[in-house]
Amino acid sequence: MKTISQQGKMFIFTAPSGAGKTTIVRHLLDTYDFLDFSISATTRDMRAHEVDGKDYYFLTPEEFRTKVDNDEFIEWEEVYEDQYYGTLKSEVDRVWESGKHIVFDIEVKGATNIKQLYGDRCHAIFIKPPSIEILIERLTNRKTESDSSLKKRIARVKREMTYQDSFDAILVNDLLKVAFKEAEFMVETFVYGKPFEEEE
C-alpha cells in the first residue's frame, strides 16, 4: 500500500458503461491509501452483490428529488426515467475532512459538471474501450439486462463516446495491466508532480 498525502484533490474516472472504469478505480483504491471513494447516490435497484452505503447510497426517486430541492448535490442526472445518479456535497466533505483525495466513478455528464466546478483541483480521466464493437460485446455478455434496456444502454454509450475530448486525459482500456499502470502514473503525477520511483 503506497501512502503519503496532501490536501484536497479529486480524480474523476468516467466512461461509457462496460469500459472498465470500476475495475480501474478499485485497483487504485487498493494501491493508494491516500485515496478514498466518493460514494454516489442512485435510485436504481440494488444488485445482489451491492451494499448500501458502500457501493452506492440507494434512495427512492422521491428521496432523491427532495435532496435535489434542498441543494444537497454537487451534480446529479436523471439517466433514464426515474433513475437518478448524483454526488452529495456531504460525501465530498467526508473524504476531504479525512485528509484524503477523492476518487469518483461516475457518468460522463456528472464528470463534466464536477470538472467545471472544481477546475484545477480535479483531474478528469475518460476510460475508453479499444473499440465500440468490443464495448457492445462486453455489455451483451454481462447478461444483466433485457433487450430493450440493452438497446437504451448502447445508444447512450455511443452518445457518451463523443465526450472523450472534454477531459484532461484519455486512458484506453485494452490490456488491463497496462491500463492499471497508466492510471497509477496519472494519480502519482497529479498529486506529487512526478511518478513514484519503483521499489526494489
Q: What's the pLDDT tens digit per position in 3-57?
A: 434 468 999 999 887 788 999 999 999 999 999 999 999 999 999 999 999 999 9
Q: What is each CA distance from 100 to 5, 120, 128, 165, in whole angstroms?
A: 7, 17, 27, 28
Buried/exposed code over 136-175 (b: 16+ C-beta within 10 A; e: otherwise): beebeeeeeeeeeebeebbebbeebbebeeebeeebebee
Q: Please write down the HEC assignment for all residues of the chain.
A: CECCCCCCCEEEEECCCCCCHHHHHHHHHHHECCEEECCCEECCCCCCCCCECCCEEECCHHHHHHHHHCCCEEEEEEEECCEEEEEEHHHHHHHHHCCCEEEEEECHHHHHHHHHHHHHHEEEEEEECCCHHHHHHHHHHHCCCCHHHHHHHHHHHHHHHCCHHHCCEEEECCCHHHHHHHHHHHHHHHHHCCCCCCCC
pLDDT at 85 over 50: yes
pLDDT for 7 equals 62
Confidence of residue 171 (pLDDT cuts 50, 70, 90): very high
Whole-number average pLDDT of the chain: 88
Query: Measured between alpha carbons, how far is 4 from 100 in angstroms, rounded to an integer?
Result: 10
Confidence of residue 81 (pLDDT cuts 50, 70, 90): confident
Lowest mean pLDDT: which of 5-19, 77-91, 178-192? Answer: 5-19
Mean pLDDT value across residues 79-84:
88
pLDDT for 35 equals 97
Confidence of residue 198 (pLDDT cuts 50, 70, 90): low
**Rounded to 5 degrees, what are φ and ψ at 138?**
-60, -45
pLDDT for 158 equals 79
Give residue-wise pLDDT tens across range 97-133. Answer: 999 999 999 888 889 999 999 999 999 999 988 777 8
Domain annotation for the chain: domains and CATH numbers? 10-192 (3.40.50.300)
Query: Measured between alpha carbons, how far is 128 from 111 in angstroms, rounded to an integer?
Result: 14
pLDDT for 97 equals 94
- Where do we find the cell 474523476? 12
pLDDT at 141 over 80: no
